[in-house]
Amino acid sequence: MKKVIIRTDASIQIGSGHVMRCLTIAENLKRQGCLVSFWMEPLQGNLIDYVKEQGFEHILEAEHADLYIVDHYGIDEKWENIHRKYTNKIMVIDDLANRSHDCDLLLDQNVVPNFEKRYKTLIPQNCKTLLGPKYLILRDEFIKARQLFNGEKRNVERLLIFMGGTDPTNETMKVLQALTETSPIFHHVDVVVGNGNIQKDKIKKICQERGYYYHCQIPYIASLMQQADFSIGAGGSTTWERCYVGLPSSSTIVAENQREATKYAAELGAVLNLGWHNEVTVEMYSNLLNTLKIEKQPLDKIRKMGLSLTENEVPNPWINEIMELLA
């Protein structure tokens, strides 16, 4: 049995995205017969208990393993080189291309300008790269939702709000306030938060008072995306998940690492970019909500572009590359 250690973290500041996509990789490796452990620090807003609930061991220091998978913006080639003594192979998941890595396999699922070449000087010559949305890290629920997508044009009656697991810039509360100033009445509003959202109790209370549907740390976000007509979300990996299931959406940039990919996705026509969170006001969300019911055609164009950018012949082809690395 091959042993794999995933080095990643979640916190109020970091968010939950790294851990969530690593859980998808871990589940796929588990099906292949691998023993997977998570090395995570007990930061405020961590997901250690959640990872344990999914059936994976948690460790707090280096151990010997056949493969280390690193998904962490604070780790570079210095850390990777030091930990070579514990492992035969190292895989890195990155989005930034802003530091050098000592790794054998690198995965970046984002579409940004020059995405196919930007790691060339940052990795060893013999490192294999998996770049672009062909290598999206997708849970089974997203793959199923894509298969069920029928491509029909719909009026915007059902709204999904999900600003990331921790929502550090409090965008969810802005959107909820904007909904009180919006003339169109949405028949169904889903509001999704993660355990790390410090406003979750207040958000839950508002949802109960208004008849919205509140969801916390859920494993069925793809199902909600599949049923929604439009989503107000944050930048990051969930942007590409929305594209993958054919859900037109807006993205608010809530972290610096989301800036480049969100801008480029908007330039390509796959998402509406509302901009940097400090500049996105309640009034901007309200204006967006007011226009949704009268702009059906532009939303259909966004849907089609998102589907086109994320099209792949075989979902999650990265699993075969990882297993080849472990062979």
Phi-psi region of 190 (alpha: psi -120 to 50; beta: other; left: phi over 0): beta
Predicted local confidence at residue 268, as pLDDT: 95
List C-alpha distances in Å: 181 to 62, 200, 228, 288: 52, 22, 21, 11
Q: Please provide the distance, in angstroms rounded to a whole number, between the alpha carbons at the two ends of the chain.
A: 11
Task: Enumerate domains of the chain plus CATH numbers.
Answer: 3-136+312-326 (3.40.50.11190), 141-309 (3.40.50.2000)
Nearest to 246 by CA among 310, 289, 194, 326: 310
Whether 18 is a known active-site residue: answer yes
Q: Which residue has the tokens 């970019």?
A: 273
List the pLDDT tens digit at each of the 327 positions of the chain. 999 999 999 998 898 999 999 999 999 999 999 999 999 999 999 999 999 999 999 999 999 999 999 999 999 999 999 999 999 999 999 999 999 999 999 999 998 888 889 999 999 999 999 999 889 999 999 999 999 887 776 789 999 999 999 999 999 999 999 999 887 779 999 999 999 899 999 999 999 999 999 999 999 999 999 999 999 999 988 999 999 999 999 999 999 989 999 999 999 999 999 999 999 999 999 999 999 876 666 899 999 999 999 998 899 999 999 999 999
Edge-to-edge strands of the sheet including 158-162? 213-216, 188-193, 158-162, 230-234, 249-253, 272-276
Predicted local confidence at residue 297, as pLDDT: 66
Active-site entry in 18, 72, 215, 277: 18
Residue 13 to residue 220: CA distance in whole angstroms: 24
Predicted local confidence at residue 295, as pLDDT: 66
Residue 192 to residue 216: CA distance in whole angstroms: 6
Q: Is 173 exposed, middle or buried (0-12, 13-18, 19+ CB in 10 A)?
A: middle
**Sequential DSSP letters for 263-312:** HHHHHHTSSEEEEEGGG--HHHHHHHHHHGGG-HHHHHHHHHHHHHHT--
Amino acid type, 318: W
Residue 124 to residue 305: CA distance in whole angstroms: 34
Q: Are 79 and 98 in contact (CB under 8 A)?
A: no
Q: Are 269 and 326 in contact (CB under 8 A)?
A: no
Could you list the residues known to form a binding site for substrate, using ranges.
Answer: 139, 241
Q: Does pTM surpass 0.85?
A: yes
